[in-house]
Every structure is written in C-alpha cells, then in structure tokens.
Copies of this chain bind each other. A is one copy, B any other.
Amino acid sequence: MRVAILAHEKFPDRAKTAVGILRYADYDVAAVLDRELAGDRVTDHVPDVQDAPIVAGMDDVGPIDALVIGIAPIGGGFEDSWRPDVRTAIERGCDVVSGLHYFLNEDEEFVELAAEHGCELRDVREPHDELTVSGGRAADVDAEVVLTVGTDCSVGKMTTTIELARAARELGHDAAVIPTGQTGIMIEGWGNPVDRVISDFTAGSVEEMILEIGDDHDYLFVEGQGSIVHPAYSAVTCGILHGAMAEKLVLCHEAGREDVHGYESFELPSIPRYVDLYEELAATVHPAEVYAGALNTAHLDEASARRAVDEYAETLGAPATDVVRFGTEELLEALL
C-alpha cells in the first residue's frame, strides 16, 4: 500500500505516529506532508527510517492509496488547517487512516465526500463494542508477558516494544506485540486503542488482547502508554500495568528529560523512584520487576549516548541501551 503521511508543522519531533510508520509499517511512503519543511527529505531529519520527500500538501503528492494522519496532538483533536489535504485525498479516491480521538467517521463533510468517492475512513482509535472489565486473568496465558513502561509520554515505549519483539523473532523465538496505541495498531494491523476505551474497561481491553493470542506465543511484548506519574494519562498507564499482569518490565526514558512533556511544572521523579512505583503498584495485582531499561538518545552524539546509556544502566541496576542506536542484544539477554 502506498501512502502519504500528514504531519504539518510537527515533523519529526512531535509527529510520533509519522515516524513510527516510516520506521516500522509495511507501507510504501510516497511523501510526508509538512508545510514548514517542504523541500526537505525525511532522512534530513530522521536518519534511520524509510526515506521520502517532504511536501507542502496533497497537491504535491503523486498517486497513493491512502492518506495517514501522522500527528496525535494532546487531546487528539482534528485541526481545521488539515482539512483541505484530507478533502483533496478523498476527492482523489484515497482512503484516510486516522488515530485521532476525533473520528473522521463522525465528520459530516468527510463522510459525505468519502461515500461519493468510494473511499474508506479508518478510525483506528475507535474501540470495538464488546470490551468489558478485566477478569484479572492475563497471567493465565502460556506466554511470558513483557511490558514497556515509561518515565513520560513519547520516550520510546512503542519503538522499544516493536524492536524487542522483532529481534526476539530474529533469534528464533515466537514473540508477538500487543499494540495499545494508534501507531502500534496501524503498524501491527490490529489492537485495542487503550487510551480511547471506557475508563472502566482500561485493564480489560489489554487483558482481552493477551487472552486472545497469549497461548499461541512464547513471549508477548505489550506496548505501554503514558507514565504512572503523568497528571493526565496515569489512569491509562495504571490500567495497562494491572491488565497486562506482566512479569517483566522495561523502563523507557529519554536522556536528559527532567519534567513532564507539555506539563513542565511537573518534575520527573528519580529513576529508582520510578522502579519502586511501577514494581510496588504492579505487585498488588501481579508481581513484576524492572528487568531492563531503554534510553532514547536520539538528541545526543554517539559518545554522549554511550555515556548516557551506561549511566542509565548503573542507576537502574539493570542492563540498558538505546534499542534504535545500539540494538537489543543486551536487553533480550536479560528478558528471554
């Protein structure tokens, strides 16, 4: 499938869906739409992903099958400045894939236009109707469950989850990903958007996925969300922690981050404090331990990244690395 990715004014640092898709999805990316970077190429900004031209809008994009909304702003709203591009895409017969809280399928203009042009509007963040409360049974599956947890949003939980599962498979293990967010769902092609379900069903929506495939694999890598200290998103984090009933946690962090992204008056606790918080809270439902750390060092040079990773491992008292930069070997040794 050939796609364009809309990421206006946010590529690459605040367009994590776009970057996730460029890095992992089975799409052929024709272009990234970002009117502020038009004329650049993806690899001018992100070195280690699929390359594509960056353009100002749909008028500069050749034939594609679908337009993917590659931005997920706080609150998950749709910005009206994106409307002309979505409109053009539909008028050209393209499907539109979105992970926003705002559902394209509830937008009158898009629904009408899509019907007229025979296009599909795919809201991957729309939960299915059969979700319910957790039964506290995720630990009953045969697979060993590994969960990525974070010090904050956007520190690399999804990336770490996917890198670990892929590398485990390359080593011959039967490992699968449990996707819990819009980007993970777009990449894996299935999953419950845990941050969009009824709050009472948060843990249940994770448990449902684990029960569905947990007896068919040896390892499940569950994509975590948010952070347990996040003023807005901790509920989702807590629900995933208790719903997944993982034995092993991987603590994800971004080198140098000191306060909550977008909530700068909230300081992040120390790394050992996070370890205690996650382990103690998990243990009330199912005992879990932080077995490894994943550090996002994208903004550091090679030498500083090495130092940061070493320091993180020491603070954590567990193996740690940047899985994109230095691979997953050390972490998998600790986890499998």
Contact = CB atoms under 8 A, between A and B. Distances in A.
Interface in A103-150: 132-136
Interface in A165-215: 194-204
A201 B200 CA distance: 12
Given A196-B200, A284-B277, A285-B266, A238 B234 contact: yes
Nearest to A137: B231
Given A277-B281, A281-B277, A285-B266, A75 B132 contact: yes
Contact of A136 (B201, B231, B280): B231
Contacts of A29: none
Given A76-B200, A198-B199, A199-B197, A281 B284 contact: no
A53 interface: no
A136 B281 contact: no
A232 B198 CA distance: 12
A233 B133 contact: yes
B229 A235 contact: no
Given A74-B133, A75-B133, A266-B136, A235 B199 contact: yes
A232 B135 contact: yes
Contacts of A260: 136
A281 B282 CA distance: 12
A269 interface: yes
A70 interface: no
A242 interface: yes
A236 interface: yes
A228 interface: yes
A287 to B, nearest CB: 12
A234 B280 contact: no
Interface string A210-240: 0000000000000000001111111111110
A81 interface: no
A260 B286 CA distance: 14
7 contacts: A76-B200, A133-B232, A234-B242, A234-B285, A237-B238, A238-B239, A276-B280
Given A199-B199, A266-B285, 9 more contacts: A76-B200, A133-B233, A194-B199, A195-B200, A196-B200, A200-B233, A200-B235, A202-B236, A235-B238
Interface of A: 74-76, 101, 132-136, 194-204, 228-239, 242-243, 260, 263, 265-266, 269, 276-277, 280-281, 284-285
The 8 closest A-B pairs by CB, nearest first: A235-B239, A136-B231, A229-B284, A202-B235, A238-B238, A134-B232, A195-B200, A133-B232
